[in-house]
């Protein structure tokens, strides 16, 4: 028996496979183009190790801060209705649509030019062209993604389970700890991993707020960019390979936890 | 002063609202609360337990105004239709959850006792998602009852279950509630819950309580047309003709009915008849104790919940009669046929 040709089905599948193939070729070109000897050598160079270390610790700190704030904000947006909720939601989502460069410029103006920024500088928190700025840039870039994941993961929990916990004598805070948090374990992992990947990959925001100074604020993406501009392709590719490895690991963990959601 | 007093409770949630609820319930009573979808039954429960703060009005429990008290301080239990068991805890931990907050002593013994009485003692190690609906609901009930709540609220606890599980669970529920002497408000759509579980019944409609009273009164003497229709009564408008020997004769658009209820001649009344209080017979008996013997015609027969509703007419009078499949089979009824309907005078209620 012959199945009738279904143009719609065939069309959408062909598009999916075609685009995946192009992406795969683009990623694969990383493995073909460089000279592996140079890549191996670059992996041990002090500049790259500095960038890797800087990327890892700043991303760890920023994703921790992101999660600390995404939990309460996601919960508030999921569970409570309050005046100005729509505004909070829109503003929190803005950075998703903003070009990173614009976000970076906004932060540069906030921390550099406003009385609030001046006050922070006097208190010892200088975010402009410093490693603290790297953390701030990563934080604001990743926060909306984490809030979205946390909100939908709280939405997924039946609020009646929390009601029952309260009717059995547990306060709102105790209920959050005993019931809500354990039930949103996979959501927290997913949001954490995505935040970390987003922080590691942040480029434009860091470039504007923290500057792209080598040996000071050059995280892996900045390192990659600087080396391309110097014409040092092998070094750029080496940073790229490390970034790809980190992204793949993040997506792998994310997919794993998403299956449990 | 009643155990539970609700005074002038208002809450507006746009699509659902409460518009001045007043309700009294004595300790140890079982109230079934019925009403169509959107009547505000669930919000009323959630205002009583404290998940919503009413816009106006008071909830008083055992003499204490608890309107603004936090839910965790009220000691009121709740059981939902979708069980709301904690999915990350096994049945034992679910039942012990509330106990752990209140006491450190005899937790295993208390969990064992309540699980035995609800026949779930063999399921204590299981996770909720591995249980059937009936088992989950018994676990949820055990979790609420084991902490001995002052008041237990149930929001359609049986409506997600299949009919035979429902019947079993009703029996278990009745026994457990009696054993613990719990005061209960049970929201339901199912008139079988009202018949079999409640001491009292209340009918809600558009944010009001239309009628609340002893079960028999609400079912047999509904005070509004809405309640009558909701509880399945036939309501007939008429006028009292006479009152003799303790019996009242009323005229319902040309048909005369005798009632045991009191009313004054000339008074306009509504006669209320429940469909299961009418007896049908193929022949008209010569001597019979029923005061009302009516020659009627079968209009239609409709099956409903394993029974049959027979609609009868006689001039302008229409009556619904409920009969079993066996009754229908013995009478060999067909639409258009003549039939004799008998109603005892105590079953013709006047309002």
Query: For residues B163 and B50, which has the higher predicted lDDT (pLDDT)?
Result: B50
Cβ-contact A199, A141 below 8 angstroms: yes
CATH tag for A36-258 (out of 1.10.357.10, 3.30.70.260, 1.10.3720.10, 3.40.50.300): 1.10.3720.10
Percent of chain B at pLDDT > 90 equals 57
> Residues B84-100: pLDDT tens digits?
999 999 999 999 999 99
Using H for helix, E for strand and C for coil, what is the string for chain B?
Answer: CCCEEEEEEEEEECCEEEEEEEEEECCCCEEEEECCCCCCHHHHHHHHHCCCCCCEEEEEECCEECCCCCHHHCCEEEEECCCCCCCCCCHHHHHHHHHHHHCCCCHHHHHHHHHHHCCCHHHCCCCHHHCCHHHHHHHHHHHHHCCCCCEEEEECCCCCCCHHHHHHHHHHHHHHHHHHCCEEEEEECCHHHHHHHCCEEEEEECCEEEEEEEHHHHHHCCCCHHHHHHCCCEEEEEEEEEEECCEEEEEECCEEEEECCCCCCCCEEEEEECHHHEEEECCCCCCCCCCEEEEEEEEEEEEECCEEEEEEEECCEEEEEEECHHHHHHHCCCCCCEEEEEECHHHCEEC
Percent of chain B at pLDDT > 70 equals 100
Which of A155-159, B200-204, B283-287 is predicted with the least confidence, judged by mean pLDDT?
B283-287
Measured in residues, chain B has a length of: 351
Nearest-CA residue of chain B relative to A180?
B86
* Residues paired with B257 in a beta bridge: B250
Give, rounded to a whole angstrom, the gap between the first and last alpha carbons of chain B.
28
Q: Is A224's pLDDT higher than 70? A: yes
Question: What distance in Å separates the CA atoms of residue B95 and residue B138, rounded to the nearest whole number?
Answer: 10
* Cβ-based neighbours of B306, under 8 Å, separated by 6 or more: B325
Question: For residue A184, which residues of chain B lie inside 8 Å, CB to CB?
Answer: none
Of A158, A160, A183, which has the smallest distance from its Cβ to B88's Cβ? A183
Q: Is A212's pLDDT higher than 90? A: no
Nearest to B260 by CA among B185, B343, B339, B180: B343
Q: Is B61's pLDDT higher than 90? A: yes
Sign of the four-CA dihedral A247, A248, A251, A253: negative
Distance from CA of B152 to the nearest CA of A (A): 10
> Residues B310-325: pLDDT tens digits?
999 988 888 999 999 9
Q: Is A260's pLDDT higher than 60? A: no
Question: What distance in Å separates the CA atoms of residue B188 and residue B161, rounded to the nearest whole number?
Answer: 13
B4-223 fold: Rossmann fold (3.40.50)
CB contact under 8 A, B70 and A183: no
**In which residue are the tokens 């002893």 written?**
B214
Q: Is A251's pLDDT higher than 70? A: yes
Confidence class for position A65, pLDDT limits 50, 70, 90: very high
> Mutual orientation of helices A85-97 and A131-155 as an angle, nearest 10°?
120
Domain residues of chain A, as ranges?
1-33, 36-258
Please compute the mean of the pLDDT values over residues B56-78 and round it to a whole number.
93
Question: What distance in Å separates the CA atoms of residue A141 and residue A94, rounded to the nearest whole number?
Answer: 10
> Mutual orientation of helices A100-113 and A131-155 as an angle, nearest 10°?
120
Question: What distance in Å separates the CA atoms of residue A142 and residue A66, rounded to the nearest whole number?
Answer: 7
Confidence class for position B121, pLDDT limits 50, 70, 90: very high
Please compute the mean of the pLDDT values over residues A52-59 and round it to a whole number.
93
Question: What distance in Å separates the CA atoms of residue A251 and residue A245, rounded to the nearest whole number?
Answer: 10
Question: What distance in Å separates the CA atoms of residue A58 and residue B194, rounded to the nearest whole number?
Answer: 64
Confidence class for position A1, pLDDT limits 50, 70, 90: low
CB contact under 8 A, B143 and A164: yes
Q: Is A259's pLDDT higher than 80? A: no
Confidence class for position A81, pLDDT limits 50, 70, 90: confident
* Cβ-based neighbours of B86, under 8 Å, separated by 6 or more: A161, A165, A179, A183, B93, B94, B97, B128
Question: What distance in Å separates the CA atoms of residue A209 and residue A52, rounded to the nearest whole number?
Answer: 19
* Cβ-based neighbours of B233, under 8 Å, separated by 6 or more: B219, B220, B222, B272, B273, B274, B275
Question: What distance in Å separates the CA atoms of residue A235 and residue A216, rounded to the nearest whole number?
Answer: 17
| Alpha-helical segments (H) within chain A | 7-32, 36-43, 46-79, 85-97, 100-113, 115-122, 131-155, 159-167, 172-175, 181-183, 185-201, 204-209, 220-230, 233-260
Could you count the other beta carbons within 10 Å of the beta carbon of residue B289?
8
* Residue B85 C-beta-side C-alpha neighbours within 13 Å: 31
For position A136, what pLDDT does the model report? 94
A170 lies within 8 A of chain B by CB: yes
Average pLDDT in chain B: 90
B-interface mutation test, from A157, A158, A162, A168, most B Cβ less than 10 A away: A168
Average pLDDT in chain A: 89
Cβ-contact B236, B225 below 8 angstroms: no
DSSP state of A80: -
pTM: 0.81
Distance from CA of A81 to the nearest CA of B (A): 12
Count Cβ–Cβ pairs < 8 Å, chain A vs chain B: 61
> Residues A162-203: pLDDT tens digits?
999 999 999 999 999 999 999 999 899 989 999 999 999 999
> Mutual orientation of helices A100-113 and A115-122 as an angle, nearest 10°?
70
**In which residue are the tokens 């005070």 written?**
B223
Residue A257 in 3-state DSSP? helix
> Residues A34-44: pLDDT tens digits?
677 888 888 88
Q: What is the CATH number of domain B232-350?
A: 2.40.50.100
- β-strands B4-13, B16-25 pairing: antiparallel
Q: Is B350's pLDDT higher than 80? A: yes
* Residue B344 C-beta-side C-alpha neighbours within 13 Å: 5
Q: Is A237's pLDDT higher than 90? A: no
For position B10, what pLDDT does the model report? 93
CB contact under 8 A, A163 and B82: no
Q: Is B137's pLDDT higher than 80? A: yes
* Strands across the sheet containing B268-273: B255-259, B247-252, B234-244, B268-273, B349-350
Confidence class for position B105, pLDDT limits 50, 70, 90: confident
For position B230, what pLDDT does the model report? 85
Of A163, A170, A178, which has the smallest distance from its Cβ to B51's Cβ? A163
A156 lies within 8 A of chain B by CB: no
Confidence class for position A94, pLDDT limits 50, 70, 90: confident
A163 lies within 8 A of chain B by CB: yes
CB contact under 8 A, A158 and B74: no
> Residues A106-124: pLDDT tens digits?
999 999 888 998 898 888 8
Of B84, B143, B147, which has the smallest distance from its Cβ to A158's Cβ? B84
Q: Is A48's pLDDT higher than 70? A: yes
For position B233, what pLDDT does the model report? 87
A158 lies within 8 A of chain B by CB: yes
Q: What tokens were used for A62?
A: 């920023």
C-alpha pair distances (Å), B168 with each of B34, B190, B194: 21, 15, 16
Q: What tokens were used for B43?
A: 């919000």
Q: What tokens were used for A66?
A: 């992101």
Domain residues of chain B, as ranges?
4-223, 232-350
């Amino acid at each position: 028996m012959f199945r009738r040709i279904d143009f719609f089905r065939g069309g959408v599948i062909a598009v999916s496979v075609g685009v995946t193939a192009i992406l795969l070729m683009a990623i694969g070109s990383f493995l073909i183009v460089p000279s592996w000897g140079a890549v191996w050598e670059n992996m041990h160079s002090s500049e790259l190790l500095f960038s890797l270390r800087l990327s890892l610790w700043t991303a760890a700190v920023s994703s921790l801060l992101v999660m600390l704030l995404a939990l309460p904000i996601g919960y508030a947006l999921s569970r409570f209705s309050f005046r100005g909720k729509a505004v909070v939601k829109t503003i929190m989502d803005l950075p998703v649509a903003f070009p990173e460069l614009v976000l970076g410029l906004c932060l540069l103006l906030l921390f550099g030019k406003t009385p609030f920024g001046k006050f922070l500088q006097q208190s010892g928190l200088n975010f402009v062209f410093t490693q603290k700025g790297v953390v701030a840039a990563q934080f604001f870039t990743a926060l909306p993604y984490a809030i979205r994941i946390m909100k939908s993961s709280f939405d997924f929990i039946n609020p009646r389970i929390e009601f029952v916990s309260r009717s059995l004598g547990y306060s709102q805070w105790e209920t959050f700890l005993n019931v809500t948090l354990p039930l949103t374990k996979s959501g927290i992992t997913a949001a954490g991993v995505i935040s970390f990947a987003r922080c590691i990959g942040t480029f434009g925001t860091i470039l504007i707020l923290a500057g792209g100074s080598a040996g000071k604020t050059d995280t892996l993406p900045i390192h990659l960019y600087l080396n391309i501009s110097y014409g040092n392709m092998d070094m750029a590719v080496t940073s790229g390979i490390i970034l790809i490895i980190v992204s793949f690991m993040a997506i792998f963990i994310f997919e794993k936890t998403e299956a449990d959601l | 002063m009643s155990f539970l007093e609700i005074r002038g409770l208002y809450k507006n949630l746009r699509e659902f609202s409460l518009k001045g609820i007043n309700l009294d319930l004595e300790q140890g009573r079982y109230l079934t609360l019925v009403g169509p979808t959107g009547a505000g039954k669930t919000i009323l429960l959630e205002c009583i337990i404290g998940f919503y703060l009413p816009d106006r009005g008071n909830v008083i429990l055992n003499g204490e105004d608890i309107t603004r008290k936090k839910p965790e301080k009220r000691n009121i239990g709740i059981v939902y239709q979708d069980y709301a068991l904690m999915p990350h805890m096994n049945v034992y931990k679910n039942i012990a959850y509330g106990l752990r907050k209140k006491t450190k002593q005899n937790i295993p013994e208390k969990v064992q006792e309540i699980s035995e009485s609800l026949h779930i003692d063999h399921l204590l190690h299981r996770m909720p998602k591995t249980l059937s609906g009936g088992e989950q609901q018994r676990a949820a009930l055990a979790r609420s009852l084991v902490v001995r709540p002052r008041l237990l609220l149930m929001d359609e606890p049986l409506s997600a279950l299949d009919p035979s599980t429902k019947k079993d669970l009703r029996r278990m529920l009745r026994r457990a509630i009696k054993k613990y002497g719990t005061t209960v408000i049970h929201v339901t759509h199912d008139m079988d819950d009202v018949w079999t579980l409640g001491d009292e019944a209340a009918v809600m409609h558009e944010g009001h309580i239309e009628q609340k009273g002893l079960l028999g009164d609400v079912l047999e003497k509904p005070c509004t047309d809405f309640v009558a229709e909701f509880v399945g009564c036939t309501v007939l408008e008429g006028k009292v003709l006479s009152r003799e020997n303790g019996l009242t004769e009323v005229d319902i658009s040309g048909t005369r009915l005798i009632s045991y209820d009191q009313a004054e001649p000339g008074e306009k009344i509504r006669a209320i008849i429940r469909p299961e209080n009418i007896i049908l017979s193929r022949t008209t008996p010569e001597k019979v104790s029923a005061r009302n013997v009516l020659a009627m015609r079968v209009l239609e027969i409709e099956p409903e919940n394993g029974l049959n509703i027979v609609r009868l007419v006689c001039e302008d009078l229409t009556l619904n009669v409920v009969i079993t499949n066996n009754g229908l089979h013995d009478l060999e009824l067909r639409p258009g046929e003549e039939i004799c309907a008998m109603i005892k005078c105590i079953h013709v209620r006047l309002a």
